[in-house]
Amino acid sequence: MKTVFRDISWFKDVLLPVVVTMLGVYLGILASDWQDQQRERELKQEMLRQIYREAQSNVQSLTNSYQYHLQLKDSLETWRQQQLFRGLNPAFLRSAAFTSAIHGGGLQILPYDLFHQTASIYTGQQKLDEMNQIFLGKLVDLFTNQGEDTGQAIYQLIQIYIVDIVRSEEMLMKENKALIEKIKDTLGNELNKNEKD
Q: pLDDT digit string (tens) for 76-85?
A: 666 556 555 5
**H helices present in the chain, as ranges:** 2-7, 16-74, 76-82, 96-103, 112-144, 150-187, 189-196
- Give pLDDT, residue 19: 82
Give CA–CA dist 20/37, Å, rounded.
26
- Give pLDDT, residue 1: 46
Give CA–CA dist 53/40, Å, rounded.
20
Low pLDDT (below 50) residues in the chain: 1
What is residue 194's DSSP assignment? H
What is residue 110's DSSP assignment? S
Q: Which phi and psi (to 5°) does residue 149 adopt?
A: -105, 25
- Give pLDDT, residue 172: 92
* Total-model pTM: 0.60
Give CA–CA dist 85/105, Å, rounded.
44
For residue 158, which of 80, 92, 93, 91 has the smallest C-alpha distance?
Answer: 80
Residues 6 or more apart from 14 whose CB is under 8 A from it? Answer: 8
- Give pLDDT, residue 194: 57
